[in-house]
Amino acid sequence: MKGIQIVEPNKLQIIDMEKPVLTKENNVLVKMKAAGICGSDVGIYHGTNAAATYPRVIGHEMVGIVEEVGEGATKVKVGDRVIVDQVVACGTCYACRKGRPNVCGNLQVRGVHIDGGYREYMAVPDQDCYLVPEGLTDAEAVMIEPTTIAIQSCSRAELDQEDTLLIEGAGALGSSILRIARLSGATIIVSDVDEEKLQDALKAGASYVINPMKDDVAEKCHELTDGYGVTVSIDAACVKDSLLTALKATGNAGRVITMGFSTAPTEVNQFLITSKELDVRGSRLQNRKFQDAIDLVNENKVNLAGSISHTFHYLDAQKAFDFVDSKDPSIRKIALLFD
């Protein structure tokens, strides 16, 4: 079978791989149908994702069809369309014992630390497979995984209807967070440098939008909140100055959620954190949120239709990554298809 491997930063190649066989642990064989391109995949490709190891078959947004089930598999059956959980945790470390396997001390993420979904077949435990809602195309179903990331970030933020939330970034991640955040009843402000994305955010439920090229985001947030500042900020832009902007924009007793993976130095002002007693929290991956996301889709509370802007055949992955690097403003979310 074929797979797409990042051999080293900036070197992508198509490789031949052995088709996996079922084991007692990996007891479901999934034939891949679609896989998303995430910002973290782009980071692995360019060598800016500090968590990744090389060489690596990337891809952690993985949708496929169950082709074979083995011993002990009871959750899914042959022919089921599934999305695969990307988190592999040990179950015994401190984080796992505290119910936080997404930050397991021995964490392995499919597509980051171990091979992921940019290949024709995967063998995985049946417990890591979740049934895809019937109304979604294979490409749209890829967006279930980013939805879990959004649910996790809003959970870490303890978001509720009393809050005013700033979402920095209106790309695929920020848009997913907006879909979930609006369910809380919070007032939502979205910032982005792309005017079209800001208009999309207003249509999707944002109350206000800010373009950092035109306005100071922190000052505008204080203006929109009668001087107090937002009560929650989520950094979905993950650029050099976005964390400091969030700290400035957030008012006393607020929560700041950071999601970036860059190891590049960034300015953090202690006075902003201490004087306002801010909670600065990381949000990584998702903590058993797949069924939550699928339930929201099935209940028509989250609409993923039309969320994919572009598709490429998986063997054209190099073209797809080159297109991402072009920064074309029409890009929202790209999926690789296996048919």
How big is the chain, counted in residues? 339
- Give pLDDT tens digits for 113-155: 999 999 999 999 999 999 999 999 999 999 999 999 999 999 9
- Peptide bond preceding 55 in cis form (omega within 30 of 0): yes
On whether both 126 and 164 belong to a single domain, the answer is: no
Question: Do 27 and 90 reside in the same domain of the chain?
Answer: yes
Say if 20 falls within a structural domain. yes
Give 155-168 pLDDT, tens digit per residue: 999 999 999 999 99
- Residues 136 and 171 occupy one common structural domain: no
Residue 320 lies in a domain: yes
* Per-residue exposure over 44-82, b if at least 16 CB sit within 10 Å of its own CB, e if not: bbeebbeebeeebbbbbbbbbbbeebbeebebbeeebbb
Q: Which residues form the domain of 32?
A: 2-143+304-337
Torsion region of 212: left, alpha or beta (phi above 0 gives left; psi -120 to 50 gives alpha): alpha
Residue 36 lies in a domain: yes
Whole-number Å distance between alpha carbons of 88 and 109: 6
Residue 293, in any domain of the structure: no
Domain shared by 153 and 131, yes or no: no
Split into its structural domains, the chain has a count of 2
Tokens of 44: 């692995």
Helix H or strand E segment including 151: helix 144-157
Please name the helix (run of DSSP H) or strand (run of DSSP E) that holds residue 97, with its range, or none.
helix 94-97
94 and 175 together in one domain: no
- pLDDT of 50: 86
What sign has the CA pseudo-torsion 277, 282, 287, 289?
positive
Collapsed DSSP state (helix, strand, coil) of residue 212: coil
Question: Each residue of 66-118: pLDDT tens digit?
Answer: 999 999 999 999 999 999 999 999 999 999 999 999 999 999 999 999 999 99
Rg of the chain on CA atoms, in Å: 20
pTM, two decimal places: 0.95
